[in-house]
């Protein structure tokens, strides 16, 4: 491969990373719609859309009919492009000073989009999310607008996570758990409530599972140590240092998945428990190979390789819990 070809390939990769909202972007002028898409960080939509599928599975009432399939797709659009897009745009709005230090190529600190335009995007995404969630309640004949309430609850958590005076992300434990619960529990509840009755056991189990999400959330803090430290955000790496924070991270990811596996054994879903526990093994291996050795360098690589095992485990758990309903 020639030097010019390598340069063009590298540039294309960086442009794609920028559009998806990933670390390692390139400063490039683009259309306002590409900038708006970048603000929503499409790469972050996937876990929440997957969470909806896990919730539908755990309800025990999803059937492969056209209607159920379409409901799931609409709920995934609600959880991903609309509400995750709202959350990420809101977070970028309140983090513009930090991003000016950590990621100056982001749309707001780079001046690629104005603050009024960002505010308009936040309002539009939230409005569309609320309307769509209420539409799902009507479609599903819910007597109580559970989908609307979950959407409002998610929007509230997003606000207190990003905005002062609470700004939960200033506290490493509270902020990361809020983020973990938003990525695991909240979309799971939405998928489950769409097809079944959301009960306390599902709520408790998914909140417990969300501690694994807390570990995943810590990984995102390593890239922002400099800015977080300067602006007084007590992320895990800032509070405990890189080495201890990386161990807290992997312990959270592993221990709570294993805890869910033990619960599956308790309810006699032994096959599903075995599959889940087997999926934890490659995660531990990859943690040792990459993340624990150099979390600052390998954070993105570890997530890209290891997270598929975690999210596949979520579906295994959803299917197991759905069997209990049946």
Name the 3-class secondary structure at 109.
coil
pLDDT along the chain (326 residues), means of 10: 48 50 54 92 94 97 96 98 97 90 86 95 98 98 97 97 91 92 96 96 97 93 82 86 96 98 98 98 97 93 94 97 87
Q: What pLDDT does 230 receive?
A: 78
Angle at Cα 307 formed by Cα 121 and Cα 189, nearest 5°? 60
What domains sit in the chain, N to C, each tagged with a CATH number? 41-325 (1.10.600)
Residue carrying the six token digits 């599928």 = 53
H helices of 95-114, where?
Answer: 96-102
Q: What pLDDT does 47 receive?
A: 92
C-alpha distances (whole Å) from 161 to each of 20, 39, 94, 182, 227 are 22, 17, 10, 11, 17
Instruction: Say whether pTM exceeds 0.85.
Output: yes
- Work out the angle between the directed axes of helices 115-139 and 85-94 (0-180°, nearest 10): 150
pLDDT in tens, 69-108: 999 999 999 999 999 999 999 999 999 988 888 788 889 9
Q: What pLDDT does 326 receive?
A: 61
Q: What pLDDT does 17 receive?
A: 53
C-alpha distances (whole Å) from 119 to each of 43, 103, 168 are 21, 20, 21
Name the 3-class secondary structure at 234.
strand
Contact 213, 184 (CB under 8 A): yes
Q: What pLDDT does 206 receive?
A: 98
* DSSP letter, residue 221: T
For residue 171, the cross-strand partners are: 234
What is the DSSP annotation of 37-62? HHHT-GGGHHHHHHHHHHHHHHHS--
Residues present in the chain in total: 326
Q: What pLDDT does 23 receive?
A: 54
Angle at Cα 80 formed by Cα 74 and Cα 83, nearest 5°? 100
Contact 162, 190 (CB under 8 A): no
CA-wise closest residue to 157 among 136, 119, 196, 184: 184
């Amino acid at each position: 491969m020639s030097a010019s070809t390598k340069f063009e390939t590298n540039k294309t990769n960086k442009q794609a990373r920028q559009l998806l909202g990933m670390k390692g972007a390139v400063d490039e002028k683009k259309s306002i719609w590409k900038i708006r898409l970048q603000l929503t960080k499409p790469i972050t939509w996937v876990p929440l859309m997957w969470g909806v599928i896990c919730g539908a599975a755990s309800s025990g009432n999803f059937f492969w009919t056209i209607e159920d399939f379409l409901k799931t797709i609409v709920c995934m659009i609600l959880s991903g492009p609309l509400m995750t897009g709202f959350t990420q745009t809101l977070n970028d709005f309140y983090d513009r000073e930090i991003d000016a230090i950590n990621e100056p190529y982001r749309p707001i600190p780079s001046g690629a989009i104005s603050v009024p335009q960002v505010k308009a995007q936040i309002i539009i995404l939230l409005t569309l999310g609320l309307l769509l969630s209420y539409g799902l309640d009507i479609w599903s004949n819910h007597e109580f607008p559970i989908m609307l309430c979950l959407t409002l609850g998610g929007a509230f958590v997003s606000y207190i996570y990003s905005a002062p005076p609470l700004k939960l992300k200033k506290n490493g434990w509270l902020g990361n758990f809020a983020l973990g619960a938003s990525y695991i529990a909240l979309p799971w509840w939405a998928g489950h409530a769409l097809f079944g009755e959301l009960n306390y056991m599902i709520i408790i189990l998914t909140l417990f599972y969300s501690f694994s999400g807390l570990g995943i959330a810590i990984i995102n803090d390593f890239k922002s140590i400099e800015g977080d430290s300067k602006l007084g955000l007590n992320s895990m790496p800032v509070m405990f240092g890189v080495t201890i924070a990386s161990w807290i991270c992997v312990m959270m990811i592993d221990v709570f998945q294993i805890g869910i596996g033990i619960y599956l054994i308790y309810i006699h879903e032994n096959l599903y428990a075995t599959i889940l526990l087997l999926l934890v093994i490659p995660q531990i291996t990859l943690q040792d190979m990459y993340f624990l050795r150099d979390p600052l360098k390998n954070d993105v690589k570890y997530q890209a390789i290891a997270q598929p095992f975690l999210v596949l485990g979520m579906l295994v758990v959803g299917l197991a819990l759905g069997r209990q309903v049946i």
